[in-house]
Amino acid sequence: MLVLGIESSCDETGVALYDSAVADPARALLSHRLHTQAAMHEAYGGVVPELASRDHIRRLLPLLEGVLEDAGRTRDDIDAIAVTEGPGLVGALLVGTAFAHALAFAMKIPVIGIHHLEGHLLSPLMSEDPPSFPFVALLVSGGHTQLMHVTGVGQYAMLGETVDDAAGEAFDKTAKLLGLPYPGGPSLARLAEFGDDQAFALPRPMLHSGNLDFSFSGLKTAVATAARHAGNTCDAVKADLAASFQRAAVDVLVAKSMSALKATGSKRLVVAGGVGANRLLREELAATVAKRGARVYFPALAWCTDNGAMIALAGALRIERDGPPVAHGLGFGVRPRWALDAIASPS
Ligand code: KG4
Ligand code: ZN
């Protein structure tokens, strides 16, 4: 079955073609294209939702034509469409879903609405050496920070999550505070390379909370306070602040991930979402997990941030498990707020 995947929940338009007849998920992805709006939003220091929606409208059709051309297929070859139904920006989601449903209606093929985080969660399966179920997933994106126990496709049990800011949000807000360009996470990580991560004693929020929840808003405030006390925030001090912040955030993410492995008895940790691209997080997790005799799996960098491939994959796996969704009329909806455990079936 040839599944077209469409992602438009935030500031990236992603389209991909996935052939579920190919058994190996690393090879089943026939083509994918992505347009990132980062340059457009940069001037505003963050995503402007209305601009995001309008840009998705401009990009979708050329991206679709591009992936068909790359894969040497035509529209008539597509058997089903998987589209991000939520969570995300309502206008941005509406553009992708309206596009998907209009195309599906015209072509008389079914559409399956995908949870964006399920896409992230399953994205490490598209590798040469994918993890097998069950595993613990650390989902670290701009909007979410969650530890999940994944026992199969659609079988997700929440172990812990952030009580305030998401990890990516904390990176972005701290970067903004330091006057770094948008998107903040990668900018802060780059600057941190030049800093001393011991220069500022920042808190490790909820490290000893006794549960698997996170909190990041206090960390960002601690950086603001430290910057004020330092008075002179020259480039070297900024680099020290960035490095100290990154170290504190990574320490907490690593410690909680280890506790989740211990609590579930799992030997596999999967890291997904944009912050999964962070080099220090990758290095620290790899070293710490190895000490426990466990393994950590990272999606390829291209699959860490938003993309259409993970949506096509999630759609294909759901269809494989549940059969194709029934094609219906013109009605459709989006779910800007949508908890991942709401789509989980009992394991
Ligand atoms: O998964 P994603 O592309 O979008 C959401 O679904 O949110 O994640 C984007 C988040 C942003 O907050 C971005 O700053 C962060 O991931 N990010 C990073 C890095 N690359 C992206 N954070 C820290 N270090 C990075 N290298
Ligand atoms: Zn995402």
Question: Does the beta carbon of 142 lie inside 6 Å of ligand 1?
Answer: yes
Q: How many Å apart are CA 311 and CA 333, to the nearest integer?
A: 17
End-to-end CA distance of the chain: 26
Under 8 Å between Cβ of 8 and 56: yes
Q: How many Å apart are CA 174 and CA 156, to the nearest integer?
A: 31
Q: How many Å apart are CA 154 and CA 260, to the nearest integer?
A: 19
73: CA distance to ligand 1 center in Å? 32
Question: Does the beta carbon of 305 lie inside 6 Å of ligand 1?
Answer: yes
Q: How many Å apart are CA 276 and CA 140, to the nearest integer?
A: 6
> Which of 139, 165, 171, 172 best tests ligand 1's pocket when mutated (most atoms within 8 Å of CB)?
171
pLDDT confidence band for 58 (50 / 70 / 90) = very high
| Pick among 1.10.600.10, 3.20.20.140, 3.40.50.2000, 3.30.420.40: CATH of 2-121+304-343 | 3.30.420.40
Taking only the tens place, the pLDDT of each residue in 275-306 is 999 999 999 999 999 999 999 999 898 999 89
Tell me the pLDDT of the chain averaged across its residues.
94
134: preceding bond cis by omega (within 30 degrees): yes
231: CA distance to ligand 2 center in Å? 36
The residue among 27, 30, 24 whose CA lies nearest residue 2 is 30
Residue 335 pLDDT exceeds 90: yes
CATH class of 132-298: alpha beta
pLDDT confidence band for 347 (50 / 70 / 90) = low
Residue 232 pLDDT exceeds 90: no
- Which ligand has the nearest atom to the CA of 114? 2
- Average confidence (pLDDT) over 218-246: 92
The residue among 28, 60, 29 whose CA lies nearest residue 309 is 29
Q: Is this structure's pTM higher than 0.75?
A: yes
Amino acid code (one letter) for 86: G
Question: Does the beta carbon of 87 lie inside 6 Å of ligand 1?
Answer: no
CB hemisphere CA count around 117 (13 angstroms): 29
The pLDDT value recorded for residue 215 is: 97
166: CA distance to ligand 1 center in Å? 10
Question: Does the beta carbon of 18 lie inside 6 Å of ligand 1?
Answer: no
| Domain boundaries along the sequence of the chain | 2-121+304-343, 132-298
pLDDT confidence band for 341 (50 / 70 / 90) = confident
322 to 3, 107, 314, 345: CA distances (angstroms): 15, 22, 12, 12
- And the tokens for 160? 């812990």
In this structure, which residue's CA is closest to atom 20 in ligand 1?
186
Tell me if 2-121+304-343 shares its fold with 132-298. Answer: yes
Residue 346 pLDDT exceeds 90: no
Residue 160 pLDDT exceeds 80: yes
Question: Does the beta carbon of 276 lie inside 6 Å of ligand 1?
Answer: no
Taking only the tens place, the pLDDT of each residue in 305-331 is 899 999 999 999 999 999 988 766 778
